[in-house]
Structure 1
C-alpha cells in the first residue's frame, strides 16, 4: 500500500514549476503539503528500501524544497513530516528508557560442531515441549555488524527508538532515528495499534568510505570501521549530525505486537514476520532464506562467507533462528540469551585486504601524506581500516593503487603499514595530485616527499596550525583542545590565528558547554600568550623543519622577529642547527604572502614576541592522538607534554578518534574497556617507547 493516492500529482512525473506561494490560499497550501508529504514518503521508500526510485534526485530535491517552503510560510509543521528528518535541536544528554521486551543476546561460535550441538539441543527441548523437530525448519539471515535498535510505533507512528543498552534498558535515540531515511516515521498498510521491532543500524561500505574520505580531507581521524562510525553517529546529541551521515537500517524481528483486542495476533513464523515487516515499509535484507535442517544452515553460512566481500555492508556471520514462533517461545530464554537462535560466526579477516580509497592528508606544515583506506582487516588482533603510505615515493615504490589487494602489517606490532601488493587488480599506480586537494595550490616535490605551497592560506594547514599554536608544543593555551577549536570554527568565531585574540566573552559564553567563567578563563589564557617568548612563537607558527631547538637558536641569533624575517639564506645558514635545506625552507615560509599576512595579522591583534628562551618542539607525531592511564616512568603530564611537543594530541578519554592508549602500571580498566570497544591499540610503556623510537624520540624524556 502506498502513502500517496494514485492520482497524487507528485508521485509520477511530478511538476516542478509551482505557483507562487502568495497565490495560494491556506486550504490550497495545506492540500499541497499533504500531497507532497505522502509522495515524498513513497519516494523515500522506493529509494532507500526498494532501491527502485521513480524520479531523479534533482526532482526529489525540488519537491522537498517546495514542501519546506510551504510548511514555513503557512506554519504547517508536523513532527512526522519528511522535512523533520533534517535539522533538529541538540539534546543535553540521552535518557534511559525501558524496552517493550528484553533485547537478548544469542549464543555464538565459529565452529560447525557447536552449530550442530545447538541443533541437537534445540530438537531435544522441542520434543520435551510437544513439538516435532522434523517439522520445524530454520530461518537464516546475515549477522549485521552494526548497532541494535528498538523502534516503537503507536497507531502507525514512530514514537520511540532506543539502543540495546543492557538488554532491559537502552539510550533514547528517537530524535536520531528520525533522521535515518530508511526508518519510516509512519508505517505503510494496516499497522497494529502497537508495534515494536528490532533492527540493526549500520553504515554501508560505500557511504563509510566516502565519509572517511571527507574526514581525512578535513584533517580528522577516520573511523576504524563502519560499526564504530555507526555507534558514534547514533549517539550524537545533535540530530543534524545523524542526518548528514549515510546510515541505513535493516529490521528483522517483532518484539511487541498489539492489534485491538487480540494482543497475540502476530505472524506465526519468523518468515511471516519478515513479510509483515517488509509490508509495513521497513528495509529488510534480501539475503535471508529458509532451510529445512541444520546442514542447510551451515551451507547457507558457507555460501555467504564466499560472497562476504561483495556485499555493501559488513557482516560477521549468520544468525540461525527457529522458524516457528510458538516453538521458539517454548524454547524460552536464559537470563542473557534466547535459546531459539544461534550465531555462526565468520573467521576474522587477516592481513590481506583491499584498498578502497587513497586520500591525501594535509599536515600543519603543508606536508602531504597519502592514507590508504582499507576494507577492515584483523592484524595482530586489532581491526585495521587505514594505513599510511608515507609519501609519494612510497606509493611509487609499491606500485599501489585503489582496488589492489595488499598485505598489511604492523611495525613493532603497533603502526599499520602496507608491506606489499598481493594482487595488482588495477595494473596502475596511484597518480599523486599535482595540486593541493584542499586549497588547489601547486604541490612541490622534495625527493620522495610532497608539500602544499599554500602555507597558512590553505584551510587544512590553518586548522592544524591553530591546534598546534595553542598546544603545549606551541604557546600552551589551556582550554583549547581540538574539539573546542572545532566548535569555535563551526560557530564562525575562529578561522585564523589572529581570531584567537579577537574572541569575546559574550560569544564564548553563549556556546554549548561554556559559561561566563570558562569564557573568562580562556580569554585570560589568551591574553597571557600575547607576549610569548620569540622562540616559542616561532615554534607555534608551524614553520617546517623548525622545532624547539632550531627556534631557540634562531631567537638568540636574530634577537627579534623583524630581523629574522629579513634574514637571507646565508645569514640563516650561519645559525647553529640550520643547514642549507632548513635555511631555504625558513626563507620560503617567510616569503609566502599568505604566511606573512597571517603573521602581520597576529601582530596587529597585539601579539608581541619577546626575546626569551622557550621549550623544544617538533612535528614527528603530527596527526596522532594519545590517551595515558596508569603509572609511567614519568608523570602522565610529562608524557602528554612530550607527545604534544612533537605534534600529537593528548586527551583524557578514549574515543573512536584515539590512535593509542598508553597503559602503565595499575592502568584504569575503564579506559582499557573503552579502547577495546573502539578498536584502539593498547600500548605497554615498553611498546610506547618502541613507537617513539621509530620516530627518533627518546623515552623517558630527559630532564
Structure 2
C-alpha cells in the first residue's frame, strides 16, 4: 500500500478563501494604518494572521503556494504594521516567529514521553530476525502474528526534536538529549516556517495536549547555498547538512536561527490528551497517526508505505537507496515500525530502544585515493582546520577532491601526510572526511604550522584544536568580528551587515575594527550602490556608538563565551573598562556566571597583543564605553541589592526583563546561586534553575507575582 492511502481528505483550513479576502488574489493597496479604528485594525489583523498561516501551510508543507512572494511579503508587513501601531501582537502571530531575544544557555526540559533510540543494521538477515521476534512475541501476547503490518519511512539524517502543543497552540520544543530530557529550543524552533504556531482546526476540538516527534534538517539545495555564503564571507562551512541543522538549532540567538534554512518532518505522536470537546480520536496505528499529523497542519514525509511482509519492507529500503541522491534531504536508511499501536505497547521497549521499530541502514559510501596536499583554513573564530586536497575520486556518484582532517590531533592520530593513500568516507557528507590511512607512503604525519598562514600570529593548541592568536588583528577573522560588533545584541549598527562588511573589506576601507571609525564620507559615497545619503547614514550610526554602555561594548568585542548577560555582569562588577582590563583571573571568577574556564578565556582574550592594540585604537578614535556606575545603567535604586534570575518564557523577551531590573539598580544574572533573591518562572521553564533554587533556598515566583513585586516599588510591568 502506498503513502497515498493515508490521506484524510480536505482538512479544515486556517482560512476559508470564501470568507477571508487575503487568501486568493489578496489586495495589497491597504488604507493607511492611521485611518483605521482600533476595532477595524483588530479585525483586519486577525484575518491577516489566518491568511498568512494558510499561505505558510500551502508553501512550506504542501509546496503549492497560491500567492507570489511579493504579495506574501506585503501581507506580512501589513500585519506587522497593524500589530505595532495598535499593540495587537499575539504569542502565536506569524510575526513572532522571525527571531527573538538571545539566551545565554540552553536549559534542560523533561520530555512528555521517552524519546528512545532504534536498533539498526546494514544486514538483511538482522531485519528478518527482527520480524521473526516481533511475530513470535505478539503471538505470545495474544495477537495474530499473520496480521502484523509495518510502516516503512525514510530514516532522516538530522536532529530529532519533541514539539508540544496545548489546546492547539505551540508551547515548547526540545532536542532529544538523553531521551528523557533535552535542551529547550522553543524559540529556535519557533522560527522554522514548517512548524505551525497553531494547529489546524477548532482548538476546543483538538487534543488538549499533543507532543510529536520530528526531525529538523537543512535541505540539500539550501545547505549548498548557505555554505557558499559562509565561504564568501570567509567563514567555516559546515561539513554536512546534519551538522548544519544541529549547530543551528543550538544557537543561543533565535535571530541567527531564523536566517538559516531549516525545515522539519514530523513522524510520531509521543503523547496525546483529549480536549473537553475533542472530535479527533487518538490514532490507533502509525499509519493513521501520520494522517492525523498531516491533518493538523504538521509536515510529514510523502515517501511512506504500509507493508504486510518483511520482504516488502526490505524492497522499500532498496528502492529508497536508489533514489536517495535525488532527494532534497539526507537519509541514511529506512525505519520499519509495527503499525498497530496496541501491538507496540505489548512489545514494549528496552532501557534504550523501541522493540517495535528497526532501522535498515544504507551501506556507507567509501573509496580510496591519494593525498596530494594539505592546506590550512582559518575560520571566523580563529580555529585552524586542515583540509586534504585529494586526487579526484568518484564516491557514490560524486567526484571528491577535498576532505576535512578536522584538527591537528586527528592528523596525529591518523598519521597522515602528503602522498599517503587514504580511505574517504562520504555517508551523505558534502564535505567528506578521512577515517584511515590504507597505505603509508610518507614519513610521519603532516607537520602542523606553528604560525597562522594568514596573519603570521602564533598558533596555540586547546586540546585537539588549534587557534590563531591574532584575534581582532587577523584578516581572516576580521569580517566576522565587524559583523559581531554591529549585531543587535552588541552595538546595534544598522546597515552594517555581511554584504556591506565584505564590500568595505574588498574596497580596502576596513582592515581593522578601528577602521570603521576612520571611514570617510566621500570614499563611502563612491562605492557601488552607495551615495551621499547612505554614506551619511552609516557614519551617523557609527557616531552614535562612540560612547556605548559598557555591557554593549564588552558584548561587541566577541570575547569567547561572553554573551549579553555575562557582559552585563562583568560591567556591573568592575564598573569601568580599565578595571576589567587589569582584573586577574581570580577576580574574574568572582563574577556571576564566570567560572574557571570562562575567566581564563576572558583573560587570554584581553591579554592578546592585537586585541589590546585594537581596544587602544578604538579609544584613541573616541570609542570609549561609559562607566557602568554603582546603580546600573540608568541610575535607578528601586531594586538595589535585589538579584533576580529568569527561566522560561515571559510576556516580553527575557533580555527586556533583565534590562528593566538593571535599570532600576537590581542585578539580573543567568544562574541561581546563594546570592539570588528570586527565581522568576515563566512558561515552559527548564528544570536546572528550579533545582538550583530549591538547593539554595531561593524563593520562586511566577510572572504575576513578579509584576506585584515591581508594583510595590513603583515600577511598571511590562516595560514600555
Picking from 392, 402, 406, the partner of 2:400 is 406
- Distance change >3 Å, CA 18–CA 352, structure 1 → 2: farther
- Distance change >3 Å, CA 254–CA 168, structure 1 → 2: same
- Distance change >3 Å, CA 5–CA 124, structure 1 → 2: same
Q: In the aligned structure 2, how far is the partner of 1:211 from the partner of 1:414?
A: 33
2:123 paired with 1:101: no
Q: Which residue of 2 aligns with 1:46?
A: 58
Q: In the aligned structure 1, how far is the partner of 2:156 from the partner of 2:234?
A: 30
1:133-181 deviations in whole A, cap 9, x for unaligned?
Answer: 2112100000111111111111111111111111111122111111111
- Distance change >3 Å, CA 77–CA 417, structure 1 → 2: farther
2:58 paired with 1:5: no
Larger radius of gyration: 1
2:361 paired with 1:308: no
Q: How is 1:238-249 mapped onto 2 (pairs within 5 angstroms)?
A: 238-249=253-264
Q: Which residue of 2 aligns with 1:28?
A: 40
1:277-334 deviations in whole A, cap 9, x for unaligned?
Answer: 1000011000111111111111111111111111111111110000111111111111
Q: Which residue of 2 aligns with 1:508?
A: 553
- Distance change >3 Å, CA 363–CA 192, structure 1 → 2: closer
Q: In the aligned structure 2, how far is the partner of 1:219 from the partner of 1:141?
A: 38
Picking from 81, 89, 114, the partner of 2:93 is 81
Q: In the aligned structure 2, how far is the partner of 1:263 from the partner of 1:30?
A: 30
Task: Give how far 1:21 is off.
Answer: 0.8
2:163 paired with 1:151: yes
Task: Give how far 1:474 is off.
Answer: 8.0
- Distance change >3 Å, CA 180–CA 338, structure 1 → 2: same
Q: In the aligned structure 2, how far is the partner of 1:344 from the partner of 1:332?
A: 20
How many residues were matched structurally?
462
- Check the 8 A contact 2:110/2:180 in 1, yes or no: yes
Q: In the aligned structure 2, how far is the partner of 1:363 from the partner of 1:317?
A: 33
1:439-477 deviations in whole A, cap 9, x for unaligned?
Answer: xxxxxxxxxxxxxxxxxxxxxx99x99x9xx96458999
Q: Which residue of 2 aligns with 1:642?
A: none
Picking from 161, 183, 187, the partner of 2:173 is 161
Q: Which residue of 1 aligns with 2:538?
A: none
Task: Give how far 1:604 is off.
Answer: 7.3
Q: Which residue of 2 aligns with 1:196?
A: 211
Report SS of the residue matched to 1:328. helix
Picking from 326, 347, 357, the partner of 1:331 is 347
Task: Give how far 1:215 is off.
Answer: 1.3
Q: In the aligned structure 1, how far is the partner of 2:99 from the partner of 2:620?
A: 39
Q: In the aligned structure 2, how far is the partner of 1:475 from the partner of 1:157?
A: 45
Q: In the aligned structure 2, how far is the partner of 1:173 from the partner of 1:199?
A: 13
- Distance change >3 Å, CA 388–CA 34, structure 1 → 2: farther
- Distance change >3 Å, CA 198–CA 527, structure 1 → 2: closer
- Distance change >3 Å, CA 474–CA 196, structure 1 → 2: closer
Picking from 56, 59, 72, the partner of 1:60 is 72
Q: Which residue of 2 aligns with 1:215?
A: 230
Report SS of the residue matched to 1:106. coil
Task: Using the TM superposition, name which of 157-166 and 49-58 deviates more.
Answer: 157-166
Per the normalisation by structure 1, the TM-score is 0.58
- Check the 8 A contact 1:257/1:263 in 2, yes or no: no
Q: Which residue of 1 aligns with 2:294?
A: 278
Q: Which residue of 1 aligns with 2:311?
A: 295
2:484 paired with 1:487: yes
Q: In the aligned structure 1, how far is the partner of 2:364 from the partner of 2:480?
A: 34
- Distance change >3 Å, CA 9–CA 415, structure 1 → 2: farther
Report SS of the residue matched to 1:72. helix
- Check the 8 A contact 1:137/1:293 in 2, yes or no: yes
Task: Give how far 1:95 is off.
Answer: 2.2
Task: Give how far 1:274 is off.
Answer: 0.6
Q: In the aligned structure 1, how far is the partner of 2:214 from the partner of 2:167?
A: 20
- Distance change >3 Å, CA 472–CA 200, structure 1 → 2: closer
Q: In the aligned structure 2, how far is the partner of 1:48 from the partner of 1:168?
A: 30
Unaligned runs of 5+ residues in structure 1 are: 354-360, 365-383, 421-460, 529-538, 542-597, 607-703
Q: In the aligned structure 1, how far is the partner of 2:126 from the partner of 2:139?
A: 20
- Distance change >3 Å, CA 183–CA 475, structure 1 → 2: closer
Task: Give how far 1:226 is off.
Answer: 1.2
Q: In the aligned structure 2, how far is the partner of 1:260 from the partner of 1:83?
A: 28
Task: Give how far 1:405 is off.
Answer: 2.4
Picking from 105, 117, 122, the partner of 1:110 is 122
Q: Which residue of 1 aligns with 2:629?
A: none
1:551-571 deviations in whole A, cap 9, x for unaligned?
Answer: xxxxxxxxxxxxxxxxxxxxx
- Distance change >3 Å, CA 347–CA 326, structure 1 → 2: same
Task: Give how far 1:522 is off.
Answer: 6.7
Picking from 113, 117, 120, the partner of 2:132 is 120
2:358 paired with 1:347: no
- Distance change >3 Å, CA 129–CA 142, structure 1 → 2: same
Per the normalisation by structure 2, the TM-score is 0.57
- Distance change >3 Å, CA 90–CA 135, structure 1 → 2: same
Q: Which residue of 1 aligns with 2:141?
A: 129
Q: How is 1:428-577 mapped onto 2 (pairs within 5 angstroms)?
A: 472=469, 487-490=484-487, 491-492=490-491, 496-498=512-514, 506=550, 507-509=552-554, 511-514=564-567, 515-516=570-571
- Distance change >3 Å, CA 263–CA 525, structure 1 → 2: same
State the Cα RMSD in Å.
4.4
- Distance change >3 Å, CA 142–CA 418, structure 1 → 2: farther
Q: Which residue of 2 aligns with 1:636?
A: none
Task: Give how far 1:518 is off.
Answer: 8.8
Task: Using the TM superposition, name which of 512-521 and 217-226 deviates more.
Answer: 512-521
Report SS of the residue matched to 2:196. coil
Q: In the aligned structure 1, how far is the partner of 2:367 from the partner of 2:547?
A: 49
- Distance change >3 Å, CA 475–CA 238, structure 1 → 2: closer
Report SS of the residue matched to 1:513. helix
Task: Give how far 1:74 is off.
Answer: 0.7
- Distance change >3 Å, CA 339–CA 399, structure 1 → 2: closer
Task: Give how far 1:500 is off.
Answer: 9.5
Unaligned runs of 5+ residues in structure 2 are: 1-11, 370-376, 406-410, 422-453, 461-466, 494-509, 518-545, 556-563, 584-607, 623-720
Task: Give how far 1:117 is off.
Answer: 0.6
Q: In the aligned structure 2, how far is the partner of 1:497 from the partner of 1:174?
A: 34
Report SS of the residue matched to 1:251. strand
Q: In the aligned structure 1, how far is the partner of 2:194 from the partner of 2:293?
A: 13
Q: Which residue of 1 aligns with 2:9?
A: none
Report SS of the residue matched to 1:284. coil
- Check the 8 A contact 1:197/1:253 in 2, yes or no: yes
Report SS of the residue matched to 2:224. helix
Q: In the aligned structure 2, how far is the partner of 1:28 from the partner of 1:416?
A: 71
Report SS of the residue matched to 2:566. coil
1:610-659 deviations in whole A, cap 9, x for unaligned?
Answer: xxxxxxxxxxxxxxxxxxxxxxxxxxxxxxxxxxxxxxxxxxxxxxxxxx
Report SS of the residue matched to 2:115. coil
1:206-253 deviations in whole A, cap 9, x for unaligned?
Answer: 111111111111121111111111111112221111111111110011
- Check the 8 A contact 1:406/1:418 in 2, yes or no: no
- Check the 8 A contact 2:212/2:271 in 1, yes or no: yes
1:25-79 deviations in whole A, cap 9, x for unaligned?
Answer: 1111111101110000000000000000001111111110111001000110101
Task: Give how far 1:349 is off.
Answer: 2.2
